[in-house]
Amino acid sequence: MSHLPLPVPLNVHAKQQAVLEDAATKSSPQKAFPVPHPTVSFWQTGLEITPPPDFGSEGGLTTDADICIIGSGITGWSAAYHLAKTFAEERSLSRPIRAVILEARDFCSGATGRNGGHLTANLHESFAAREKLYGREEALRQVALEQHNVAELLKVVREANQEAELDLVSGGHVELFFSQKEYDDAKEDYAAAQAAGVDVRFIEWLSKEDVQAQYGASYPGVRLPGNNLWPLKAVGLLYNLAKDHTPSFVLDLHTRTPATSITRLDAARWSVSTPRGSIACTHVLHATNAYVSHLLPHLYGPAGVIPARGQVLALRAAAPADVLTKAAWGANEGFEYWFPRPVKAHEAAPLVILGGGREAAAPRYELYEIDDSRVDEDIGKAMRAFLPSVFPGNYEAGREPEAEWSGIMGFTKTGDPFVGPVVDASGDAKAFEGQYLSAGFSGHGMPRAFACAEAVAGMIASNILGRTWMVPDWMPKHYLTVAQ
């Protein structure tokens, strides 16, 4: 079967980076705040999880807390999970530590509740560039963080016997190369990672013929370990584990309760304002990713976090599950990513979750865009044509998706998040003492946010307990806002 032309442009990454770093865009008046009435993701439909989406949106508001976590995505709940574990083991507490999570919209309705579902640690991707920029040890720590994150999160899921409930599939990840440049760059990264001592035993290069024979697409690729799951259910699991872990950690949740400003209450406390009243707290964690600059305006733009809209489709394949295999996929410098969901008894072919298409939306590539109440028509058109063009026969051209939605990612100039105490534009932490952040996952949060939350939760717990936080050996130091 012959290939249709690809409906997306190739090698756009550098152009996107130029737009992302363009200082002129910084003056945009856009406010990074979650919009009302967002599109509904596949993950949000037919769900019966605790808590219900509007949990804690009515009745009394928590007025005092030790820790106020703003944002109920994977960062907020991972932090709560790690805090609960830490305080459960702490014998020196004279009273329980009290925390509250505020969520502007429904439970986990940001990027985590509307993402592509991939949980895959990068092993060699961008290794050469990172080594050049930050040195070998930091490049290795970056790999270590993702491996730690994925292993620990999977351990949580497995220990709770939730693999089936969360539709966890560990079917590997294949990255396809549509251009020689992509292939050459990936080979260079692989060689650099291998030379630095990354365990590359599980990375397998596939020729065009290999991919054609095994998967039905005639492009070369590389296969590595990878997983996918139902992200919103994973966060529901973290909620349950954090909430009921220990009497030493009391946790409230208020959805539909945006934090609108943060002001100093006294030398030790902050006051977090919401339309329902204020909360006094000694520690604040900004777990708001793309939206972090609403409360911290100096973080808007190329020196901070740039909102970027991503679009996802749930599309029924034409071929059965055994032809599609269980592999998850990425292509075109990571712009496209997709995986077949496990089939239910009544389904003849898998539903495939496919994200991407931003490279077809020049000149701004959906950067500086915070409106996830709509999808982009041109991107939708390109995405509908994408899989039929890559895997002729496995997908039917012109078939309409069963769901389509958007979500807002938080990009940074380097692609790496900011983790640690909030600092001002000059790097000084004094004015924000007691406030922390973990944000800017740049569209690659599932294999990083759980571990970054472990780090930032460790800093907060150490501060409460009057101890010194030690940098874990898997934590890249260049992610930290304050040098250690």
Ligand X SMILES: Cc1cc2nc3c(=O)[nH]c(=O)nc-3n(C[C@H](O)[C@H](O)[C@H](O)COP(=O)(O)OP(=O)(O)OC[C@H]3O[C@@H](n4cnc5c(N)ncnc54)[C@H](O)[C@@H]3O)c2cc1C
Residues that bind ligand X (CB under 6 A): 34, 70-76, 102-105, 109-112, 114-118, 258-259, 287-291, 294-295, 310, 312, 337, 355, 407-409, 441, 443-447, 449
Q: Give me 363's structure tokens.
A: 């000149």
Q: Which is nearer to ligand X, 104 or 224 (CB)?
A: 104
Chain centroid to Cα 120, Å, comes to 11
Picking from 414, 407, 418, 416, the residue whose alpha carbon sits closest to that of residue 366 is 407
Least distance CB 76 / ligand X (angstroms)? 6
Which CB sits closer to ligand X, 116 or 236? Answer: 116
- Helix (H, G, I), strand (E, B), or coil: what is residue 276? coil
In the bound complex, what is the minimum distance in angstroms from residue 125's beta carbon to ligand X?
A: 12
Closest CB to ligand X among residues 318, 438: 438
Nearer to ligand X, 221 or 318 (CB): 221
Comparison of 42 and 215: residue with beta carbon closer to ligand X: 42
Q: Whole-number minimum distance, CB 59 to ligand X, in Å?
A: 18
Query: Residue 207 CB, nearest distance to ligand X (Å)?
Result: 26
Shortest distance, CB of residue 370 to ligand X, whole angstroms?
10
State which residue, 186 or 408, has the beta carbon closest to ligand X.
408
The 8-class DSSP code of residue 174 comes to E
Cα angle for residues 463, 111, 353 (degrees, 5° grid): 140
Spatial neighbors of 223 by CB under 8 A, at least 6 apart, are 172, 173, 174, 175, 203, 204, 206, 327
- Name the one residue in this structure whose structure tokens are 């351990």: 155
Closer residue to ligand X (CB): 62 or 115: 115
Give the integer Cα–Cα distance in Å for 247 and 251.
Answer: 10
- At 271, the amino acid letter reads S
Helix then strand then coil, % of the chain, to nearest 5: 35, 20, 45
CA–CA dist 198, 190 (Å, integer): 9
- Minimum distance between the CB of residue 465 and ligand X, rounded to whole angstroms? 25
- Least distance to ligand X from the beta carbon of 209, Å? 28
| DSSP letters for 2-59 | PPPPPSS-SS-HHHHHHHHH-GGGGG------PPSSPPPPGGGTT---SSPTTTTSSS
Q: Which residue has its beta carbon closest to ligand X?
A: 445
Distance in Å, CB of 259 to ligand X, minimum: 4
CB of 323 to ligand X, least distance (A): 23
For ligand X, the closer CB: 313 or 385: 313
Q: Is 272 left (phi over 0), alpha (psi -120 to 50) or beta?
A: beta
**187-213 burial, b if ≥16 CB within 10 A, otherwise e?**
eebbebbeebebeeeebeebeeeebee
Nearer to ligand X, 318 or 405 (CB): 405
